[in-house]
Structure 1
Amino acid sequence: MAINSITVEKFIAKIQIEPKAGFELLAEIVEKKSTISRGDLLGVFAEMEEAAIFLLENGHPLELGFFGSYYPVIEAKMVDTPEEVTTKTIKRFKVIFKPSKFLKERFKKVTFVLGDNRVREVHYKKKK
């Protein structure tokens, strides 16, 4: 980075992403803390997934307790008159996730540790 034509080095922390966790790992964790089998949990998770998708596709916001909420939204083209509004003016459907207040507060308490003491070079593209 250059400040007043003087090159200055800058450094920033970067998260270490762990392997992706899915229904299998969730089922293993919940199984150990309950009387429900891993297989039953996976079945429930699969049905919950189908039900959640159906609800979102049909315009229902989905609240998942302490986890947060999913909101269905569309991106649409703006037109000049109500008569011009059609399904063709809809560009795409997507879902927005909003964490719950509980989750936001919980994330504020996350502690950080330095994984190692190695500093790595930062590679970035220069703006044109």
Structure 2
Amino acid sequence: MLNFDKENKQEKYVAANVLIGSISYEKLCNEVNQRTGIHRAMVDVILKGAEDTMITFLEEGFSVRFGEFGSFRPAINAASKDKEEDVNAATIIRRKIVFTPGTKFKTMLGNASIELFSDREVSASAGDEDETGGEKPDGGGGSGGEAPDPAA
């Protein structure tokens, strides 16, 4: 529930993404090992190598396409100024990496199921840790939804 209308005190409701948990890096590497037969240590080396290489290219100002996975690009949010000479590094509000999903992720998002949960149902089922050993994103006991990015 959100209170947008301060005068009328009318409750407003909004859809929220509810995550059931978080998969750790170790669990991800183990799953890739199980699915591909590549030794878990080698999966770790490959993923860390890809991460380091992507960071190098992103720092240089390139967009990085990671096959059908998607692409990553550096981006900023900055305050606008009336004069060109007033624009400098201090006007940058936020630095970020933007991920644009590839075809498979876009299809998955388009086919995602939608279910109605009340805040009480989500709170009652939330704990501090999920079955995979990962920490729940809201620390457990919260509303379960992911808050929108206020800077976006």
Percent of aligned pairs sharing the same letter: 23
Corresponding position of 1:46: 48
Corresponding position of 2:30: 28
Corresponding residue SS for 1:33: helix
Corresponding residue SS for 1:49: helix
Corresponding position of 1:103: 105
The TM-score normalised by the length of structure 2 is 0.57
The structure-2 alpha-carbon separation of the partners of 1:22 and 1:51, relative to structure 1 and needing over 3 Å to count, comes to farther
The gaps in structure 1 that reach 5 residues or longer are 123-128
Q: Is the contact between residue 74 and residue 90 of structure 1 (CA under 8 Å) also seen in structure 2?
A: no
The structure-2 alpha-carbon separation of the partners of 1:117 and 1:68, relative to structure 1 and needing over 3 Å to count, comes to same
Corresponding position of 1:37: 39
Corresponding position of 1:126: none
The gaps in structure 2 that reach 5 residues or longer are 123-142, 144-152
- Written as runs of structure 1 = structure 2, the 5 A alignment for 1:1-128 is 8-74=10-76, 80=83, 84=85, 89-91=88-90, 92=92, 93-114=95-116, 118=120
1:105 is displaced (CA, Å) by 2.5
Distance in 2 separating the partners of 1:2 and 1:80 = 35
- Which structure is larger by alpha-carbon Rg, 1 or 2? 1
Higher relative contact order (CA 8 A, sep 6+): 2
Encode CA deviations 1:32-55: one digit per residue, 9 max, x unaligned. 111211111011111111111111
1:13 is displaced (CA, Å) by 4.3
The structure-2 alpha-carbon separation of the partners of 1:46 and 1:80, relative to structure 1 and needing over 3 Å to count, comes to same
Corresponding residue SS for 1:71: strand
Distance in 2 separating the partners of 1:31 and 1:2 = 48
The structure-2 alpha-carbon separation of the partners of 1:116 and 1:31, relative to structure 1 and needing over 3 Å to count, comes to farther
